[in-house]
Amino acid sequence: MGERRDIVSSSSVKVIGKVFDGRAQLIVSSGVRAAAYTIEQYAEEKLQERFSQVLVNPTGTYQSRINVRGVNQYAYSVNDDDCVYGPWLEGTGSRNSPVTKFKGYSTFRIVAAELHGAAVELADTVMEPFVVEINL
């Protein structure tokens, strides 16, 4: 019978850089927060633009209630601060058709659909410098 030979080797690997020391995760988190905020700012801007086009007798009261609020550290909400006549203006209230002829402006729904199409491009633009920073 042959003699058994075991090969024992020891080696070490030194890992350095942003991916391994936690900096990359912080950079990505900052980028995601920036992208979310940019997208919601875009949504607020588009809502204001649309309201300035569709409101027949704007007093500024409703438009002043449109705001962006943080939901958590990665998400924002654009809303009308639960304005009592918001659902009526949107066309989702109980006082819309058939109670009245006014069908609403559908502003939030229209802007949400537009935002859905623009969000990826907005996020890509905002995230680009963060991705560059990770790769430096």
In total, the chain counts a number of residues equal to 136
What is the chain's pLDDT, residue by residue, as a tens digit (136 residues)? 567 777 777 778 787 888 888 899 999 999 999 999 999 999 999 999 999 999 988 899 999 999 988 888 888 899 999 999 999 999 998 888 788 888 899 999 999 999 998 999 999 999 999 999 998 8
Half-sphere exposure of 55 (CA within 13 A, CB side): 16
Hey, where are the domains in the chain?
Answer: 18-135
* Structure confidence at residue 1 (pLDDT): 59
pLDDT for 87 equals 93
Instruction: Answer for the pair 47, 83: CB distance below 8 angstroms, yes or no.
Output: no
Per-residue pLDDT, 102? 86
